[in-house]
Amino acid sequence: MKALHFGAGNIGRGFIGKLLADAQVELTFADVSPALLDALNSRKGYDVHVVGEQATVEPVSNVSAVNSAGQDAINLIAQVDLVTTAVGPTVLEKIAGNVAKGLVLRHQQGNDSPLNIIACENMVRGTSQFKQHVFNALPEDEKVWVEAHVGFVDSAVDRIVPPAAAGTTDPLEVTVETFSEWIVDKTQFKGPLPDIKGMELTDNLMAFVERKLFTLNTGHAITAYLGQQAGHATIRDAILDPQVRAVVKGAMEESGAVLIKRYGFDADKHAAYIQKILSRFENPYLHDDVERVGRQPLRKLSAGDRLIKPLLGTEEYQLPHANLVVGIAAAMRYRSEQDPQAQELVALLSKLGPKATLAQISGLPIDGEVVAQAVSVYEKMH
Ligand SMILES: NC(=O)C1=CN([C@@H]2O[C@H](COP(=O)(O)OP(=O)(O)OC[C@H]3O[C@@H](n4cnc5c(N)ncnc54)[C@H](O)[C@@H]3O)[C@@H](O)[C@H]2O)C=CC1
Ligand SMILES: O=P(O)(O)OC[C@H]1O[C@](O)(CO)[C@@H](O)[C@@H]1O
């Protein structure tokens, strides 16, 4: 099997690319970073540092890389069996044009073998959203062929992979936690289902996507935002702060109560899932900055994402949400010099004030109770 993976970053190298290479898939990365492309092409591999109770170094070999914006990537889309992405939600639209060109070429070359595309991003049904971008870029008369031959397969991806430690000069350096979970929607594949170790197939993807995004990512984001407020630099330091931990755990439980109602999860197993996540946040072997985990606060405060969507669920089922509201207020206080969305948030707050800013970003009603509660917490937070 041949695969093209967009995004040779942390998840690309440390999780999805590694898993494909381990399964003997002939793997090419597509990226835009010259440093990554050069290093991958000259060394053809890299080491993955898996850290936990027992640290291991797992080599990845026989990989190569192409520029995702160039003709090589288009040519590969015409040939491979699998395309995966881990580029970040905002980049999917940017790569859609070249993916569409590759699909047109594939058709022109008479390659009717099934191709499956899987976006591995922190998004609800990210591949379906990517499909829309690809279809927007496709000529009208190619759409029927693409529908018939290309599977757009949604997935949930879970492994904490922070950027390489400060001071590392190797662009391929990557350190990952032991835990990993990649769950894909088996109902969306074209052709035979792949048999790749570490890729789990399900016909109930939404339950897994929401369980992951609205537990791990909800808790992680609130740890980051409250941690930054309390002056902690890392997720570990933040989650070991009892005041932060109480809110994070409370918010995951509030979100969990919605998931239990919606998907019928077993309450005890869900409580154990939350405990496991808290211990992953504490991982002493990972250095994960609160600034990274809180990145792109406008995305994280949007209606379908990890803070607002669980809160809307609590309203739907009339469940408590005091801790989620504290997390939302803390997100409004997130600051980062590196992050354009953090700058935009500051600009919005100073132009519109907190109430209108939150309503605009989240889609929550400006005169509703939740906005009033969040703004009241926000104002007490400095
Ligand atoms: N790091 C983590 O622990 C996890 C990340 N994710 C998700 O995986 C995705 C990627 O995250 P990370 O790997 O952490 O980010 P990252 O920033 O380490 O990697 C993104 C990669 O995409 C590349 N890129 C940017 N523009 C591109 C383009 N036009 N074409 C091709 N490549 C391009 C970048 O050069 C970079 O190598 C995100 O959606 C994230 O939410 C999901 C689970 C875990
Ligand atoms: O990658 P995002 O969506 O910006 O959010 C960061 C989060 O994603 C992860 O990278 C993994 O799911 C976490 O480390 C963190 O919750």
Q: What is the CATH number of the domain that holds 318?
A: 1.10.1040.10
Reply yes or no on whether the pLDDT at 59 is more than 80: yes
User: Of 169, 186, 202, which residue sits at a domain end?
Assistant: 202
pTM (predicted TM-score): 0.91
Q: How far is CA 161 from the centre of its chain?
A: 11
Domain boundary among 168, 202, 236: 202
Residues 123 and 129: beta-carbon distance below 8 Å: yes
Tell me the one-letter amino acid at 39: A
Binding-site residue set: 3-14
Rounded Cα gap, residues 79 and 5, in angstroms? 13
Please state which of the ranges 154-168, 299-313, 319-333 shows the lowest mean pLDDT: 154-168
Same-domain pairing of 188 and 210:
no
Mutation pick for ligand 1 pocket among 6, 29, 31, 296 (CB with most ligand atoms within 8 Å): 31
Same domain as 222, residue 193: no
Nearest in space to 306 (alpha carbons), one of 89, 91, 119: 89
Domain check: are 196 and 220 in the same one? no
Do residue 130 and residue 264 come from a single domain?
A: no
Q: Which ligand is nearest to the CA of 235?
A: 2
Q: How far apart are CA 334 and CA 327, in angstroms?
A: 11
* 167 and 102 in a common domain: yes
Which residue range(s) make up the domain with 316? 206-380
Give me the mean pLDDT over the 327-344 stretch: 98
pLDDT beyond 70 at 302: yes
- Ligand 2 pocket, 213 CB below 6 A? no
The Cα 258–Cα 237 span in angstroms is: 28
Over the stretch 318-329, which tens digit does the pLDDT of each residue have? 999 999 999 999
Ligand 2 atom 14: residue of nearest CA: 160
Whether 142 and 244 map to the same domain: the answer is no
User: Is the CB of residue 8 below 6 angstroms from any atom belonging to ligand 1?
Assistant: yes
Residues 256 and 152 occupy one common structural domain: no
Q: Whose CA is nearest to atom 37 of ligand 1?
A: 9
> Which residues have C-beta within 8 Å of that of residue 356, sequence separation ≥ 6?
366
What is the C-alpha to C-alpha distance for residues 240 and 223, in angstroms, rounded to an integer? 10
Between 89 and 164, where is the model more confident? 89
Domain boundary among 181, 202, 223: 202
pLDDT for 167 beyond 70: no
41 and 136 inside one domain: yes
Nearest-atom number in ligand 2 for the CA of 157 is: 12
Number of domains in the chain: 2
The tokens describing 138, both together, are: 């496709």
Task: Give Cα 9 distance to the centre of its chain.
Answer: 12
Give the pLDDT score at 162: 86
The mean per-residue pLDDT over the stretch 304-316 comes to: 97
- Residue-by-residue DSSP string for 46-78: EEEEEESSS-EEEEE-SEEEEETTSHHHHHHHT
By the 8 A CB rule, do 223 and 244 touch? yes
133 and 167 in a single domain? The answer is yes
Q: Indicate the average pLDDT of the chain.
A: 96
Using a 10 angstrom Cβ sphere, with 0-12 exposed, 13-18 middle and 19 or more buried, the burial of residue 335 is middle
Is residue 375 within 8 A of residue 334, CB to CB? The reply is: no
Q: How far is CA 56 from CA 11, 210, 280, in A?
A: 18, 31, 17
**Nearest Cα to 66, choosing from 35, 90, 31?**
31
The predicted-structure confidence for 68-91, as pLDDT tens digits, reads as follows: 999 999 999 999 999 999 999 999
**Binding region for NAD(+):** 3-14
**Helices (H), ranges, the chain:** 10-11, 17-22, 34-43, 71-77, 92-108, 126-137, 143-149, 205-211, 218-229, 235-239, 242-263, 267-281, 290-293, 297-300, 308-316, 322-332, 340-362, 369-379
Q: Which of 155, 181, 220 to mutate to test the pocket of ligand 2 (most atoms within 8 A of CB)?
A: 220
Q: Please, which pLDDT band fits residue 166 given cuts at 50, 70 and 90?
A: low
Out of 55-69, 113-127, 159-173, 202-216, pick the least confident.
159-173
Same domain, 6 and 41: yes
Contact assessment for residue 103 and residue 138, using Cβ atoms and an 8 Å cutoff: yes
CA-nearest residue for atom 11, ligand 2, is: 160
Task: Please report the pLDDT score of residue 93 as a whole number.
Answer: 98
CATH of the domain at 156: 3.40.50.720
pLDDT of residue 52: 84
What's the ipTM? 0.95
In whole angstroms, give the CA distance from residue 220 to residue 239.
Answer: 9
Q: What distance in angstroms lies between residue 38's CA and the mean position of ligand 1's atoms?
A: 18
The pLDDT score that the predictor gives to residue 53 is: 81
Torsion sign across C-alpha atoms 204, 208, 213, 215: positive
Residue 168 has pLDDT above 80, yes or no: no
Say whether both 80 and 222 belong to one domain: no
Using a 6 Å cutoff on CB, does residue 215 contact ligand 2? no
127 and 74 in a single domain? The answer is yes
Over residues 247-261, the pLDDT tens digits come to 999 999 999 999 999
Please state the atom number of ligand 2 nearest to the C-alpha of residue 292.
6
Residue 201 pairs with which residues in a beta bridge? 184
